[in-house]
Chains A and B, each alone.
Chain A
Amino acid sequence: MTPTANYETHEHDVLIIGAGGAGLRAAIEALAQGARVGVVCKSLLGKAHTVMAEGGLAAAMGNLDKADDWRTHFRDTMRGGKLLNNWRMAQLHAQEAPDRVRELEQWGALFDRTESGEILQRAFGGHTFRRLCHVGDRTGLEMIRTLQDRGVHMGFDVYMECTVTKLLKDGDRVAGAFGYWRETGKFVTFKAKSIVIATGGIGKSWRVTSNSWECTGDGMALAYEAGAELLDMEFVQFHPTGMVWPPGVQGLLVTEAVRGEGGLLRNKNGERFMEKYDPKRMELSTRDVVARSIYTEVKEGRGSPHGGAFLDISHKPAEYVKRKLPSMYHQFKELADVDITKGPMEVGPTCHYMMGGIRVDAETGRSSVPGLFAAGEAAAGLHGANRLGGNSLSDLVVFGRRAGLAAAEHAKKTAAPALDNSQIEAAEREVLAPLARTSGESPYQIHHDLQEVMQSLVGIFRTDEDLRKALGELEKLKARAAKMRVEGSRVFNPGWHLSRDLACMLTVSEACTHAALARKESRGAHSRLDFPKTEDAWGTKNHVIVSKGGAMTLFEAPRPAMPTELQQILAEDK
């Protein structure tokens, strides 16, 4: 019997896991290289979390501010990331983003325009110049639809509503993936010479988050289990402005474009409190600073009725607000009974983005496992300790393309791998275990408790005591998850699906907590109450997490020296 005779098996040169901006851009590039490409995604095509990106895509096109160029974008990105970024990634990103934007336009994307017919750019936190190419406040939708249609017509195979639960190996190298169809619960295996992880973030480990159900850290957990290294896992971005009321929408994103278009933040006394925290940049300070400022205002008793800050754009003409921020207008009107053209919104911090992720080579997105690549939010490096708004969408297309290219080239010079039946059978047993139990907790309860732990102990402000407590709680949660029970059949069973996602969330939550405990300083999005200063000594190293003999192990990796040319750019004051 051939190893995979019992399973539906698909073979590709390049298999891409995740169909958001990074995955689709990688697929397009791999197709252009002549590779046979498969794309696996947990949702329907076009529903990935990229669709929720609102404000825009940062690229130094200089359409409005002629002085802008890649150097300034590089400098802004590095400074925003508190210099912990992979400088080579920051450089490539700043240099290539404009071409990736023009390419999207040539594939049919329709950005908002300037008077002279160029792509319009808007201001955003931490960006020196007006830099974000946008479509009102639905830039992500425009991007994903453009990439989706391009890819579909170029001819990739899409496996929709399919969850990968294990990467398969052939010796040291990656050989394929095992998963199940969400619709039927039947198993499927993929055989591939190269795999690109583009599964996005981990926000669903926190209670208040802007992330969709899909953001459960699958790719990071899969790669970690396959032997890859995780980098900078302590750096979780809390976006300053999520909705705080009503309860059902708590955490839902309120785009930074509200502030980019002139929105003002006030506390309950009507004070523009950003004067105290960052008088120079005010509302357009970096996200880490604004999130901490709002949190502090609320904690010190100056919050809004539902525990947030007021964000007001109503001084702008109503028609302008509706045209530039249409989905914000509808979101507040329909979900919170607030007309943002007439009065302020209530906003507060929400878990939004993971700066950390799979450690990759800057040029190629290659991980430490041969044949395994990563791009987008699932990969780490570009954003350092804090991401600037608008740098995520550009990250997806710049490094999605690079990973797709490298994955296709790797596939060209590699022989087909062999799948190992015992690995597949082990993966199958693991997935089926919760269904076979006759007693045990529901995954919903464990997920709920995980979110409470991460929200209260690994949030915006951290302490040694809280983080140690969190590690203890995570051990208990892991033990409970090992005994959880799923009711019902394998046919489209969300409880069963959650049991898989939960395993990944537990892995990435633990990695995050370990790294946060180890970094004894405050930097960017990582704020330690017991170590409030940013220390130069900590700026010279990143944290890497890897599985050693099944145990999660952390080590420090020294940062490579930056070339003189880039150091000079960084030193210039603009």
Chain B
Amino acid sequence: MAEVTLRVFRGDRDGGKPVDYQVPLTEGMVVLDAIHSIQANQAPDLAVRWNCKAAKCGSCSAEVNGKPRLMCKTRMDALPHDQPITVYPMKSFPVIKDLATDVSWNYRVNKKIPPFQPRPGVEWKMYQRDVDRVQEFRKCIECFLCQNVCHVLRDHDKKEQFGGPRFFVRTAGLEMHPLDGADRTRMLKEELGIGFCNITKCCTEVCPEEIHITDNAIIPLKERVVDEFYDPVTMLVRKIFGAK
């Protein structure tokens, strides 16, 4: 049976190094299968998160050959075998151990977003055409790959000022819900720091659910923030009558 080398990061908060493992290839194998094979036969304490193995839960995010991917969806036969396949944890989050990272920051950001709030007295009728665009956002499986590649988080580590693409998608899903009545624009500007995003679309490129994060979520939200806070007429009114 053909074998392939996986170069897997082994380590913890205090550092670590890549370790090579030889793995027998099977038909249709994905990177997560190879990691499981290493666990079962060579390194039973190799830490990795996974649940569904079907790209539905968003647990097995990692950087495969330097590219942010879900391991359960990355076919081994789509990667070159003449050199080791590297598997590293997501760079933007602190390593716990091996491929498992500390993503708890995301859960803290999520708490800041005001939940769905139906407008008083709404009739519970919605039409598919109005629901379609929100359903796109609700496909998100929280793999956090978009957070991982976003420059603002990856290179500038602005976790205190910036919410990241995942939470713009979540906010868009609430703001564009046909029956929602809450206003989250101030929160977007001040707590999630949407202004830091310079629309490079890296998030959109890595989304395994193919959500148009930049075009359909972030840009419309940025427009809402601009309309609310930077509209010249409103600004003038504010200047004369004082900010509300």
Chain A interface residues toward B at CB < 8 A: 43-49, 51-52, 102, 105-108, 110, 112-113, 116-118, 120, 135-136, 138, 141-142, 145, 149-150, 152-153, 160, 183, 212-214, 245-249, 252-253, 327, 330-331, 334-337, 442-445, 448, 486-489, 491-496, 498
Contact = CB atoms under 8 A, between A and B. Distances in A.
B4 to A, nearest CB: 14
Interface in B11-60: 12, 26-30, 32-33, 39-41, 44-59
A330 B55 contact: yes
Contacts of B111: 152-153
B97 interface: yes
Residue of B57, B58, B116 most packed against chain A (CB within 10 A): B57
Given A152-B111, A213-B50, A491 B12 contact: yes
A212 B30 contact: no
A493 B28 contact: no
A334 B30 CA distance: 10
Contact of A108 (B32, B48, B115): B115
30 contacts: A43-B51, A108-B115, A110-B126, A110-B138, A110-B177, A112-B131, A118-B125, A135-B138, A136-B135, A138-B56, A152-B110, A153-B115, A183-B97, A212-B50, A214-B51, A246-B29, A247-B29, A248-B26, A248-B29, A248-B32, A249-B53, A327-B56, A335-B28, A335-B30, A492-B96, A493-B44, A494-B45, A494-B47, A494-B48, A495-B45
A460 B54 CA distance: 24
B203 interface: no
A494 B46 contact: yes
A138 B208 CA distance: 15
B201 interface: no
B241 interface: no
Contacts of A444: 39-41, 44
A51 B124 CA distance: 25
A45 B107 contact: yes
B45 A141 contact: no
A51 B52 contact: yes
B90 to A, nearest CB: 13
A112 B56 contact: no
A445 B39 CA distance: 11
Interface size class on chain B is 35 or more
B133 to A, nearest CB: 10
Contact of B128 (A112, A330, A486): A112
Contacts of B26: 246-248
Given A141-B56, A245-B28, A253-B54, A44 B110 contact: no
Contact of B54 (A108, A118, A249): A249
Contacts of A135: 135, 138
A246 B48 CA distance: 22
Residue of A44, A52, A142 most packed against chain B (CB within 10 A): A44
A108 B110 contact: no
B103 interface: yes
Contacts of A138: 56, 139
B44 A488 contact: yes
A494 B124 contact: no
A107 B128 contact: no
A82 B115 CA distance: 42
Contact of B44 (A107, A112, A330, A486): A486
Given A138-B56, A486-B44, A44 B103 contact: yes
Q: Which 3 A-B pairs have the closest CB atoms?
A: A246-B28, A488-B45, A495-B44
A110 B46 contact: no
Contact of A107 (B33, B110, B116): B116
B54 A113 contact: no
B51 A49 contact: yes
Given A110-B126, A252-B54, A44 B59 contact: yes
A118 B127 CA distance: 8
A498 B142 CA distance: 25
Contacts of A52: 52, 54, 56-57
Contacts of B33: 248
B45 A212 contact: no
Interface string B177-195: 1001000000000000000
Residue of A120, A138, A248, A489 most packed against chain B (CB within 10 A): A248
Contacts of B73: 334-335
